Amino acid sequence: MNWKAHKQLNQLFNEGETSSEILEISLVQRWQEMDFLERINKKKVSKTNLYDSVYTKELLQQFNSFENLLIINNLTETNFKEEELSALLRIQNDKEEILITGKSQKEIATLYFHSAKYLTRGTILYNAILKVLDVSELPVDEHDQQFLWVLHCKTKSPKAIIFCENDNQIRKPRLNEVELWYAGGRNTAKLKFVVEPTIPFYYLCDWDNRGIEIYQDIKKNIFPNIQILIPQDPIKLYNIESKWKTKIDYSLFSNEAKQLLEKLIPEKWIEEESINHNMLLR
């Protein structure tokens, strides 16, 4: 059953009637055969005097738990399957342990939905889990929390290193003399175990709240010598999707970077994948 069906059965309990489409469910078909409910006409069914006792015993508590979960998290307009609702309840109950252990998207999918591939970013279910856990995203992969991805350059002797916020560049062909690093978005704590490069070292990112926040954190707390990679012409500006909220520490930026930030804030941003730079030429 899905949430809509649960609501209809509860409506039958409280109001005595509901839509006859509920008869498509095998459980309800059995209940009809056992005279717990009966069809009024093509569009409606009504309960008999036997319905309340069986509904109270088998489904009322579950309905109340589901409804409470959805109301608290502002998810009442969704129509999750019963097994998904049960999983969300378990995630809610396990919230503290999930956050403390830093469970990844695949781990949560495996533990609560029985398949590592069950969850997809951007889906209604994925966003519901974010609400239940009160987080902005789930770690993509448990390995991203521990390992640094490196795309070595063709010459094997890099003249510079570019650390990328996103994985776009690292999935392209190797550069001649530039080594590419990728840690997985905000998953930068692992960098504390990496020796700071002595060759020129740059951060390639979206010029938006998230990208600038990550850059500032890295430069302040991990790699003081890293510099943000400044896009070269042509620079493609996009209308901002999320209002600028990041507090900019201008002491961490070169004059050229400050000038670019002045062009962006408060209405524009730059997407990493659109950034042009000679060091990225293949």
Measuring CA to CA, how many Å separate 103 from each of 118, 124, 252?
A: 15, 20, 33
The percentage of the chain sitting over the pLDDT mark of 90, rounded to a whole number, equals 82
The 3-class SS string of 156-208 reads: CCCCEEEEECCCCHHHCCCCCCEEEEECCCCCCHHHHHCCCCCCCEEEECCEC
Helix (H, G, I), strand (E, B) or coil at 254: coil
User: What would the pLDDT profile of 227-282 be if each residue is shown by its tens digit?
Assistant: 999 999 999 999 987 789 999 999 999 999 999 999 999 999 999 999 999 999 99
Phi/psi at 141 (nearest 5 deg)? -150, 140
- pLDDT score recorded for residue 146: 73
Q: What is the helix (H) or strand (E) element at residue 38, kind and residue range?
A: strand 37-39
Residue 195 has pLDDT above 60, yes or no: yes
User: What would the pLDDT profile of 84-124 be if each residue is shown by its tens digit?
Assistant: 999 999 999 999 998 888 788 888 999 999 888 899 889 99
Domain boundaries, the chain: 3-133, 146-280
Helix (H, G, I), strand (E, B) or coil at 47: strand
**What would the mean pLDDT of 164-178 be, rounded to a whole number?**
93
The full length of the chain comes to 282
Residue 134 has pLDDT above 80, yes or no: yes
What is the C-alpha separation between 139 and 190, in angstroms, rounded?
A: 14
- pLDDT score recorded for residue 101: 80
Q: What is the helix (H) or strand (E) element at residue 94, kind and residue range?
A: none
Q: What is the helix (H) or strand (E) element at residue 92, kind and residue range?
A: helix 82-93
Helix (H, G, I), strand (E, B) or coil at 19: strand
Which structure tokens are listed for 108? Answer: 């949560």
Phi/psi at 59 (nearest 5 deg)? -130, -20
- pLDDT score recorded for residue 145: 61
What is the C-alpha separation between 161 and 172, in angstroms, rounded?
A: 15
CATH annotation of 146-280: 3.40.1360.10
Q: Is the peptide bond before 266 cis (omega within 30 degrees of 0)?
A: yes
- pLDDT score recorded for residue 141: 57
β-strand pairing of 238-239 with 201-204: unpaired
User: What would the pLDDT profile of 20-47 be if each residue is shown by its tens digit?
Assistant: 999 999 999 999 999 999 999 999 999 9
Residue 143 has pLDDT above 50, yes or no: no
User: What would the pLDDT profile of 44-74 be if each residue is shown by its tens digit?
Assistant: 999 999 999 999 999 999 999 999 999 999 9
pTM of the model: 0.55
